[in-house]
Amino acid sequence: MNLIYLPLVLLIALLAWFAGRIGFTPKSQGQSKNNFSKDYLVGLNYLLSEQPDKAVDIFIKLLEVDSETVETHLALGHLFRKRGEVERAIRIHQNLIARPQLTKKQRTQATLALGQDYLSAGVLDRAERLLLDVVDSGDFQAPALSMLLDIYQQEKEWEKAIQSAEKYQQIANHPMHSAIAHYNCELALEARRKLGSEQALRYLKRAISIDKDCVRASLLQGEWEAEQGEYKQAIKYFRRVVEQNPAFISEIIKPLANCYEKLGQPEEYLQFLHRCLDNTPRLSLVLALSERIQQEKGASAAAEFVAEQLYTRPSIYGLSRLIELQKQFSEGAAKYNLQLLFNVTQQLIMQKPVYRCDSCGYAGKVLHWQCPSCRRWTTIKPIQGLEGD
Ligand SMILES: [Zn+2]
């Protein structure tokens, strides 16, 4: 026996046992039950002898005998899909839907399962049609809408994604405002390429009105204003990120430095960095301040500042910066050794991810607004602590 089929067989046996099918019913209960269990055993035997297609034929045939086995067949289809055998799952579900004796709810459930099969197989247009039918039926709307959302995100159909998310939010009573704000950001990016800035900015405003903490919308607004030379306005949007989510401070430091420089306001920039450091200590602020101190007072003063900060907030990035500064006013063997240490810390930093998903732990060096692994929105953030910001 191929052991990989064992859990599947056991589950089917268990399901059938619960349904009182496999030989557990007394003989006096009728001939049809005995035929039924015989067919089931033949089906199981095919599974055991690694002939799943023949087993599927038997199980499908059983449906004609008794429509009460719908749940068992849905479970069997689900198992095949889980195992990546989508074609077999599709055959089972298609045959289920074709049975006239199914109730309306059972047919909708089978349609939902078939839609999920096509989604797994990547046949998105067919999956979409089936799932829309499920939503229209009034039953199983929440799982159907959740799958439709998956399809629209894959196809980048953001308006449809917004509609489905709004409906899902209402039916499942699950907040979707963060994702809907991101769909608007996606529409803004698309509009900027095709229609121009005005329409794009309207989408960003909509994103903020839906989710006031949408960091991505603020970053895009700031970036686009700065590109137009509207630095004051850009600063306003970038600074909004601090209130929205201080975890993203590292994302605004460089663009803010550029805006303040263009306006000739280096003092305001410094004040902003100091104020942020007091309220939300982040290493990116320490590094930015250390650059300013180095420019104005030299490497020694900057090193002193970084060392002081490292006592309260140890960090590999801070250590590397301290070594880099220390090296500049060292000589001979000390300088050589510091260079070696600096190289080691830089290599460590190069291997470290910068962002991590709160939900699934996916980590990388690029900020994705939708996690490439768990597909959730806004769960990826800059890493904090010893190896982060
Ligand atoms: Zn994730």
What tens digit of pLDDT does each residue of 48-94 get? 666 777 777 777 777 665 666 788 888 889 988 988 999 999 999 99
Q: Name the phi and psi angles at 382, rounded to 5.
A: -60, 140
Separation of CA 368 and ligand 1 centre (Å): 10
Residues 164 and 192 in one domain: no
Task: Please report whether residue 39 resides in a domain.
Answer: yes
Separation of CA 216 and ligand 1 centre (Å): 17
Residues 44 and 190 in one domain: no
Separation of CA 355 and ligand 1 centre (Å): 11
Task: Please report whether residue 276 resides in a domain.
Answer: no
Separation of CA 365 and ligand 1 centre (Å): 14
Task: Please report whether residue 274 resides in a domain.
Answer: no
What's the pLDDT score for residue 8?
54
Separation of CA 360 and ligand 1 centre (Å): 4
Domain end point (choices 237, 263, 289):
263
Task: Please report whether residue 31 resides in a domain.
Answer: yes
Separation of CA 375 and ligand 1 centre (Å): 6
Separation of CA 60 and ligand 1 centre (Å): 38
Average pLDDT over every residue of 206-235: 96
Residues 156 and 10 in one domain: yes
Separation of CA 370 and ligand 1 centre (Å): 8
- Per cent of the chain over pLDDT 70 is 87
Residues 139 and 179 in one domain: no
Residues 200 and 160 in one domain: no
Provide the domain limits for residue 40: 3-172
CATH number of the domain encompassing residue 367: 2.20.28
* From 21-30, 98-107, 224-233, 271-280, the region with the lowest mean pLDDT: 21-30
Task: Please report whether residue 194 resides in a domain.
Answer: yes
Separation of CA 378 and ligand 1 centre (Å): 9
Residues 319 and 368 in one domain: no
Query: What confidence tier does 321 reach under pLDDT thresholds 50, 70, 90?
Result: very high
Residues 19 and 123 in one domain: yes
Separation of CA 286 and ligand 1 centre (Å): 29
Q: Report the number of distinct structural domains present in the chain.
A: 4
Separation of CA 214 and ligand 1 centre (Å): 18
Domain end point (choices 213, 231, 263):
263
**381 neighbors 247 (Cβ within 8 angstroms):** yes
Alpha-carbon distance 234 to 236, whole Å?
Answer: 5
Task: Report CA torsion sign: 52, 58, 60, 66.
Answer: negative
> What is the widest separation between alpha-carbon atoms in the chain?
99
Separation of CA 147 and ligand 1 centre (Å): 18
What's the pLDDT score for residue 21?
46
More confident residue, 250 or 196: 250
CATH number of the domain encompassing residue 64: 1.25.40.10
Average pLDDT over every residue of 39-47: 73
- The tokens describing 211, both together, are 């989710």
pTM of the full structure:
0.81
**345 neighbors 323 (Cβ within 8 angstroms):** yes
Separation of CA 345 and ligand 1 centre (Å): 28
Separation of CA 53 and ligand 1 centre (Å): 36
- Convert the pLDDT of each residue in 102-143 to its tens digit: 899 999 999 999 999 999 999 999 999 999 999 999 999 999
Separation of CA 178 and ligand 1 centre (Å): 15
What's the pLDDT score for residue 76?
85
